[in-house]
Homo-oligomer: A and B are copies of this chain.
Amino acid sequence: MREFTSADIACLDEIIKARRDVRGNRFLDKKIDDETLDKLLQAACDAPSVGFSQPWKFVIVKDAKKRDEIYQDFLKENEKAKEIFKDKELYSKLKLEGIKESYLNIAVLYEKSDKRVLGQTSQKKMGEYSVVCAIQNFWLMARAHNIGVGWVSILKPKRVKKILNIEKNHKLIAYLTVGYVDEFLDEPELLTLDWEKRKSMKDIKVI
A residues at B contact (CB < 8 Å): 1-4, 7-9, 11-19, 21, 38-39, 41-43, 45-48, 50-54, 57-63, 66, 77, 80-81, 84-85, 91, 94, 96, 116, 118-123, 125-126, 128-129, 132-133, 135-137, 139-141, 143-146, 151, 153-157, 164, 173-174, 183-184, 186, 188, 190-191, 195-196, 198-199, 201, 203-207
Whole-angstrom CA separation of A174 from B173 in the bound complex: 18
- By a CB distance below 8 angstroms, the chain B residues around A188 are 52
CB closest residue in chain B, given A48: B21
Which residue of B4, B195, B201, B206 is within 8 Å of A51 (Cβ)? Answer: B195
* Number of copies of this kind of chain in the complex: 2
Given contacts A52-B191, A96-B119, 6 further A-B contacts (CB under 8 A): A11-B12, A48-B151, A66-B207, A81-B118, A123-B155, A129-B173
Cβ-closest 3 pairs across A and B: A132-B132, A52-B190, A136-B136
- By a CB distance below 8 angstroms, the chain B residues around A45 are 199, 201
Which residue of B18, B63, B123, B153 is within 8 Å of A126 (Cβ)? Answer: B153
Q: Given A4-B144, A207-B62, does the pair A52, B122 have CB atoms closer than 8 Å?
A: no
A134 to chain B, nearest CB (A): 9
Are B201 and A143 neighbours in the complex by a CB distance under 8 Å?
no
- By a CB distance below 8 angstroms, the chain B residues around A173 are 129
Are B63 and A154 neighbours in the complex by a CB distance under 8 Å?
no
A85 to chain B, nearest CB (A): 7
Q: Can you list 8 contacts pairing A with B, beta carbon distance less than 8 Å? A: A12-B140, A16-B43, A19-B46, A51-B190, A51-B195, A52-B190, A52-B196, A59-B204
